[in-house]
């Protein structure tokens, strides 16, 4: 079993792999479907901020085993990876074509987030239901945002 500390240190790398898949085509994919549109600069800024938050949470989890830190990590992974991975998969199916990010979203984000969330519950000795609830709650803004993009042609942020 991989420890939460090890998985925490892998969070930034998993994130970077996903953004590397998205970066060349996501803005044009998004802008063909959504109003108001985004720029490549806003894509970079949003992902830069998310990367910094990921570094902070990974650092925190690499040194602490507290319940609050574990729930925070689960909520962030629920937002950043679980809900985002589902967004890319649903967008690809609903659109019938490649949504940039679906490969890493499906093959990295979804399994990684599942292993991470269950690992937090196991190692911090918290209720799996509580940790899963934190991940789902963390993912709600991304899920709403994804729904708006795919099914309404608008966005939350």
Band (58; pLDDT cuts 50, 70, 90): very high
Mean pLDDT for the stretch of residues 67-88: 97
Mean pLDDT for the stretch of residues 27-46: 97
Q: For residue 1, is pLDDT > 70?
A: no
Taking the C-alpha atoms of residue 101 and residue 17, their distance in angstroms, rounded to an integer, is 9
Band (65; pLDDT cuts 50, 70, 90): confident
Closest CA to 132 of 82, 88, 74, 79: 74
Taking the C-alpha atoms of residue 74 and residue 57, their distance in angstroms, rounded to an integer, is 10
Closest CA to 76 of 140, 22, 127: 140
| Tokens of residue 117, six digits | 């969330």
Q: Give me the residue spans of the domains in the chain.
A: 4-152
Taking the C-alpha atoms of residue 102 and residue 77, their distance in angstroms, rounded to an integer, is 17
Helices 110-124 and 67-77: angle between axes, nearest 10 degrees: 170
Taking the C-alpha atoms of residue 20 and residue 33, their distance in angstroms, rounded to an integer, is 21
pLDDT per residue over 17-31, tens digit each? 999 999 999 999 999
Q: For residue 5, is pLDDT > 80?
A: yes
The one-character DSSP state at 61 is: H
pTM: 0.95
Q: For residue 2, is pLDDT > 80?
A: no
């Amino acid at each position: 079993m991989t420890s939460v500390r090890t998985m925490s240190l892998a969070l930034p790398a998993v994130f970077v792999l996903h953004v590397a898949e998205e970066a060349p085509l996501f803005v044009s994919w998004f802008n063909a479907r959504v109003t108001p549109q985004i720029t490549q600069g806003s894509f970079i800024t949003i992902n830069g901020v998310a990367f910094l938050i990921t570094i902070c949470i990974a650092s925190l989890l690499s040194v602490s085993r507290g319940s609050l830190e574990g729930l925070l990590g689960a909520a962030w992974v629920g937002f950043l990876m679980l809900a985002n991975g589902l967004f890319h998969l649903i967008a690809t199916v609903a659109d019938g074509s490649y949504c940039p990010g679906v490969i890493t979203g499906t093959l990295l984000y979804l399994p990684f987030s599942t292993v991470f969330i269950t690992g937090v519950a196991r190692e911090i000795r918290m209720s799996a239901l509580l940790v899963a609830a934190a991940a789902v709650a963390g993912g709600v803004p991304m899920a709403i945002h994804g729904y708006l993009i795919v099914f309404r042609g608008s966005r939350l942020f």
